[in-house]
């Protein structure tokens, strides 16, 4: 498999930058919140030292000033008694506090872009809600954000635009409301149908997507989702282009299904055929 392309940020292809220039981009212009905060933090240094060190790596400030900013950042993300907790080691923080500390470190140099990879994984629902509120506040301050997650509930709360990917390819993209209320791709249908819903006449068994996820070395030449799709047909052996079809130009999908009756087709693709929903409820 040949992988090619560009990663462009502010007019530059990041893949072509020398190491020194790329180090100036990391942390300063683009910051990252990793999935597991315990592995993102060095266990032998205090949390405050690690935040201050990132500040001093990109800015000409004294150790005292960097430490003062570290305390302020920890306070901003909701760490209680930040002035003393700045001296704590990562193992002395709870999971939610470590995640907040990682977010504080990511924001320490006011990046233009924040990439968050599953920032709420393994957190209880109360801490997850607090983290999502914090991330919305950061976005309101002007930081662009790319959120990588499998949790469609989190996506519905925080995203403006949604990109659904399968097998390393874009299956569907569009504004949040368009993707959630008018999904077009069978993979998006499967993701949304597997989300528990509150209310309704009775509870139903959550459907699952048939088959197993495709591995990088086994991605078919045609539609990557075809081996698991209940509506696959011969044309799926060709790779579909990302297209808006006859719909909204900002809402595109990569599927050969006819665009005219996607809602009805979605119903026929449900594994719980004895419990059909109305077209209005399904969309």
Q: Residue-wise pLDDT tens for the chain (283 aa)?
A: 567 789 999 999 999 999 999 999 999 999 999 888 888 899 999 999 999 999 999 999 999 999 999 999 999 888 999 999 999 999 999 888 998 899 899 989 989 999 999 888 767 788 778 788 888 887 887 888 999 998 888 888 889 999 999 998 999 999 999 999 889 999 999 998 887 776 654 566 778 888 998 887 888 899 999 999 988 889 999 999 999 876 678 999 999 988 776 767 776 666 554 333 333 333 3
Say yes or no: 60 and 127 in one domain. yes
User: Domain limits at 130?
Assistant: 21-150
Say yes or no: 128 and 184 in one domain. no
Which pair of tokens denotes residue 255? 């599927």
Q: What is the pLDDT of residue 236?
A: 93
Q: Could you tell me the pTM of the whole model? A: 0.80
Say yes or no: 253 and 177 in one domain. yes
Say yes or no: 146 and 172 in one domain. no
Three-state secondary-structure class, residue 171: strand
Say yes or no: 146 and 119 in one domain. yes
Say yes or no: 26 and 131 in one domain. yes
**d(Cα 278, Cα 245) in Å, to the nearest integer?**
24
Which runs of consecutive H residues, i.e. helices, occur in 120-194?
A: 125-140, 152-158, 176-181, 186-193
Say yes or no: 86 and 184 in one domain. no
In a domain, 277, yes or no: yes
Residue with tokens 């509870």: 203
* Structural domains of the chain, count: 2
Say yes or no: 249 and 141 in one domain. no
- Helices H, strands E: what count in the chain? 12, 8
Say yes or no: 26 and 145 in one domain. yes
């Amino acid at each position: 498999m040949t992988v090619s392309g560009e990663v462009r940020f502010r007019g530059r292809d990041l893949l072509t930058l020398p190491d020194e220039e790329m180090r100036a981009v990391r942390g300063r212009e683009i910051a990252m919140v990793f999935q597991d905060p315990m592995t993102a933090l060095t266990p032998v240094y205090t949390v405050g030292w690690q935040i201050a060190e990132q500040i001093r790596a990109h800015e000409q400030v004294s150790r005292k000033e960097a430490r003062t900013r570290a305390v302020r950042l920890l306070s901003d993300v909701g760490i209680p008694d930040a002035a003393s907790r700045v001296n704590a080691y990562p193992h002395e923080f709870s999971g939610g506090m470590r995640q907040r500390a990682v977010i504080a470190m990511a924001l320490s140099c006011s990046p233009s872009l924040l990439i968050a990879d599953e920032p709420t994984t393994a957190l209880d629902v109360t801490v997850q809600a607090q983290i999502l509120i914090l991330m919305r506040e950061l976005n309101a301050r002007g930081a662009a954000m790319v959120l990588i997650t499998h949790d469609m509930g989190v996506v519905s709360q925080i995203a403006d635009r949604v990109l659904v990917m399968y097998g390393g390819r874009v299956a569907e993209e569009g504004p949040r409301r368009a993707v959630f209320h008018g999904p077009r791709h069978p993979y998006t249908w499967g993701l949304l149908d597997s989300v528990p819903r509150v209310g309704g006449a009775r509870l139903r068994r959550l459907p699952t997507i048939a088959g197993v996820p495709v591995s990088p070395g086994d991605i078919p030449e045609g539609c990557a989702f075809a081996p698991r799709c209940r509506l696959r047909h011969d044309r799926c052996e060709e790779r579909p282009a990302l297209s808006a079809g006859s719909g909204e130009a900002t809402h595109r999908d990569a599927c050969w299904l006819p665009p005219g009756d996607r809602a009805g087709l979605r119903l026929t693709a449900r594994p719980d055929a004895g419990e059909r929903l109305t077209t209005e409820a399904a969309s």
